[in-house]
Chain A
Amino acid sequence: MEKDFINTHKYEGMLQKTDNLVITVSHLIIPMIWEGDLNIHSNVEIMKNSMFQGIILHGDTGLSIALQLIEQHLQKAPSYRTLTCKYKSSLTLNDELVVNYQISGNKLSFVLLKQQAIEVLQGELLGIEVGH
């Protein structure tokens, strides 16, 4: 299928900032259908006394939200061949997320932040094409 490419020159090299998104209970529990459920994700009593002081989301959920915010900002879904991601801190309910990202050639680098300042994860997509 022929792709409707956006003008990536508009984004080339410039640091972009997405809209914000607040973590809800749906972000916590729906991914458990696919990823499974551990005490760290759903046992409030145990997690209250843990180093996290509460339940935390699956890391993949933060990654999915980061790419969702980028898609919404680009108004197109980038396809990619390679994805790398390093987790820096955890996510919990009501965290407010935003993504800073940059496109350079066929590489898209991004950082997911919570509360505007705390790094949650750093990621990179390689071999990107921005089509439908």
Chain B
Amino acid sequence: MNFIIHDSHRIARTIFEEDCKLFATIFRGTVEEKKVDQRLLIMITTGLLNRSFNLEDYLVAVLGQEWVFINPVSVGQTLSCEYSIKILKHEKNIYQIQIQLYADLEIVANGIWTVMLNQSIN
């Protein structure tokens, strides 16, 4: 049983206009329907990581996240991410997953996901 299912950049997701409309419907604030909301980017990145890692068998909890947004993303662009994993606390199996989020070939955001796993992945 491995934690990593797919290497960086193997998994990608194109953003459709319907994604933006649906996001606006459920999280209705003052979001413009055709705008790719930064929160939607975070959700889609979580989806990419869910498909890249065996979270079903390893994840205890997501403890936090940090994001720096560099460039806006448009409908029709395809998201993928490059990630690296480092241990934060050995005794509690807390890891930081450092993420570079790409839209097509351009970096659009840098993120850090802090997670607690139920076992060591080293």
Contacts and interface: CB of A to CB of B under 8 A. Distances in A.
Interface stretch (B43-51, B83-91, B100-108): B43-51
Contacts of A38: 50, 55-56, 59
Interface size for chain A: under 10, 10 to 19, 20 to 34, or 35 or more residues? 35 or more
**Size bracket of the B interface:** 20 to 34
Contacts of B27: 64-65, 67-68
A63 B38 CA distance: 11
Interface string A52-76: 0000001111011101110110011
A64 B59 contact: no
A48 interface: no
A102 to B, nearest CB: 19
A30 interface: yes
A60 B30 contact: no
Interface of A: 26-27, 30-31, 33-36, 38-40, 58-61, 63-65, 67-69, 71-72, 75-77, 80-87, 132
